[in-house]
Amino acid sequence: MYKYASPKNFYALAGQLIPWLAGLTVLLLAVGLYLGLFVAPPDYQQGESYRIMFIHVPSAWMSLFVYVVMAAAGAAGLAWHTKIAEVLASACAPVGASFTLITLVTGSLWGKPMWGTWWAWDARLTSELILLFLYIGFMALQASIDEPRRAARAAAVLALVGVVNIPIIHFSVEWWNTLHQPASVSKVGTPSIHPSMLVPLLLMALGFKLYFFTVVLMRMRYQILEREKYSHWVAEVLAAEK
């Protein structure tokens, strides 16, 4: 198990896993979308427009999951000084930010028919917006530091500070929302889950997870080549690919 902490072995292992993960991802997303968009019945309150939930909800779960993975990888990099952990954290960030962006856009699209506006400062969406800023901050900090080791370690500290703050931020935004929104305005509520809705939802969630693994492994392979560019095995790999 520990031999995969070496960048060279990890590179090879990731290369083998990626095609399988990619295939599974496409399969799960296709089945999930088919079931969600065509097979699940329309919601008695929201009609057809609720179907965007099948993208919105798994995206929201992923946006938070990826941040936690990013912070955990950062912590591992700080504690054990392993390049793989640092590369993992760095690879997660854009993927997590994308999921956050998708959550915000789909949340806005979902809310338009109900609220009449594109944005209504709903507590959950506001928290997601702040999460997006946390991701952007992480990526901006890494991009501003030329020295890769310092960049990874500084961003890891930031991610850890962020992960500790996320519950506090979420609590304060919920608090703020209940103070300022009159009770009559409905939140973007998940409709009561019918079993035929649950299955596609979970399939989409799983599909998104596998998508995350696929893309992160691909990004990690690229970054490993970049960070190990002075070593012999990288020269061999690049020569072999010519």
Residues within the interface to other proteins (CB under 8 A)? 81, 130, 133-134, 136-137, 140-141, 144-150, 153-154, 157-158, 160-162, 164-165, 168-169, 171-173, 175-176, 179, 227-230
In the block, residue with structure tokens 């992960």: 163
How far apart are alpha carbons 180 and 217 in whole angstroms? 43
Closest to other proteins by CB, 27 or 143: 143
Work out how close the CB of 38 gets to other proteins at its nearest, in angstroms, rounded to a whole number.
39
Closest to other proteins by CB, 22 or 129: 129
9, two tokens: 């072995």
Work out how close the CB of 165 gets to other proteins at its nearest, in angstroms, rounded to a whole number.
5
Work out how close the CB of 163 gets to other proteins at its nearest, in angstroms, rounded to a whole number.
12
Work out how close the CB of 171 gets to other proteins at its nearest, in angstroms, rounded to a whole number.
8
Closest to other proteins by CB, 45 or 165: 165
164, two tokens: 């500790």
Which amino acid type is present at position 92?
A: C
Work out how close the CB of 108 gets to other proteins at its nearest, in angstroms, rounded to a whole number.
19
Alpha helices (H) along 81-190:
83-115, 123-144, 148-180
Which amino acid type is present at position 162?
A: G
Q: At CA 171, angle to CA 105 and CA 175, rounded to 5?
A: 90
Q: Are the C-beta atoms of 4 and 10 separated by less than 8 Å?
A: yes
Task: Compute the 3-state secondary structure of the chain and give helix, strand, coil in percent, each to the nearest 5.
Answer: 85, 0, 15
Closest to other proteins by CB, 21 or 152: 152
Work out how close the CB of 202 gets to other proteins at its nearest, in angstroms, rounded to a whole number.
31
64, two tokens: 């938070």
Closest to other proteins by CB, 149 or 194: 149
How far apart are alpha carbons 79 and 89 in whole angstroms? 14
In the block, residue with structure tokens 């997303």: 29
Closest to other proteins by CB, 62 or 87: 87
Closest to other proteins by CB, 35 or 122: 122
Work out how close the CB of 136 gets to other proteins at its nearest, in angstroms, rounded to a whole number.
7
Instruction: List 43's β-bridge partners, or say none.
Output: 47
Q: Are the C-beta atoms of 130 and 100 separated by less than 8 Å?
A: no
